A = this chain, B = another copy of it.
């Protein structure tokens, strides 16, 4: 239960990841719907029932996809993070890195989003189960901000990474609906909106806008209270 290096665990861990491997391979080749649990089990060399011993449902296999995507994205984003200092270009670059990472899974992205969209689903990006992946993602966007030469107004410093992540979720949402075969529409929207985001951050310093911002920040704080987000460590 708390002994991660026990050799006992590695066997089951290997079975576990064999199932994810098989699942993702088949998802990529044939799409989500056309991949049956029987096929996944066969490909992984286990029985159907055994696959269900490790994963509650077919949807749960997508969580494995999530986690890997998150890691791959962080890797793909590295070069931009280390070389670029202009904020807008950092945002665009990191978004592009995501698009490249996701390309192979494009065709079943819709399905994966569909599952993520159901609030009661553990796959929802806002669910407790997704907390680690979400927090890691927000952390990535914090680095995007902090490594740039744009100065962030004090008021915003705490919440901005999460807000940018939300903006990015919007881009992802757009991508899911994007009918262009090479995601060019998404790339265009990203390239056009990122400078606007940066400008909006600047506008925050105007008194009128700043007043509105105070309201928004306060509202965000209150809303956070409503959701059970496992973040309070008291």
Binding site for B on A (CB under 8 A): 110-111, 113-115, 117-121, 124, 126, 176-180, 185, 188-189, 192-193, 196, 199-200, 203, 206, 208-209, 212, 215-216, 219, 222-223, 226-228
Copies per complex of this chain: 2
Are A227 and B179 in touch, CB under 8 angstroms? Answer: yes
State the majority secondary structure of interface residues on A.
helix
Given A206-B208, A215-B192, A216-B196, does the pair A185, B226 have CB atoms closer than 8 Å? yes
Return chain B residues, CB-CB under 8 Å to A118: 110-111, 113-114, 117
A55 to chain B, nearest CB (A): 19
Q: Within the assembled complex, what's the spacing in Å between the Cα atoms of A222 and B185?
A: 9
| Contacts A119-B177, A192-B219 known; 14 new A-B pairs at CB < 8 A | A110-B118, A113-B118, A114-B115, A117-B117, A179-B226, A179-B228, A185-B226, A189-B219, A189-B223, A192-B215, A193-B219, A199-B212, A200-B212, A203-B212
Q: Within the assembled complex, what's the spacing in Å between the Cα atoms of A119 and B185?
A: 15
Return chain B residues, CB-CB under 8 Å to A208: 203, 206
Look across to chain B and name the residue whose beta carbon is closest to the beta carbon of A180: B226
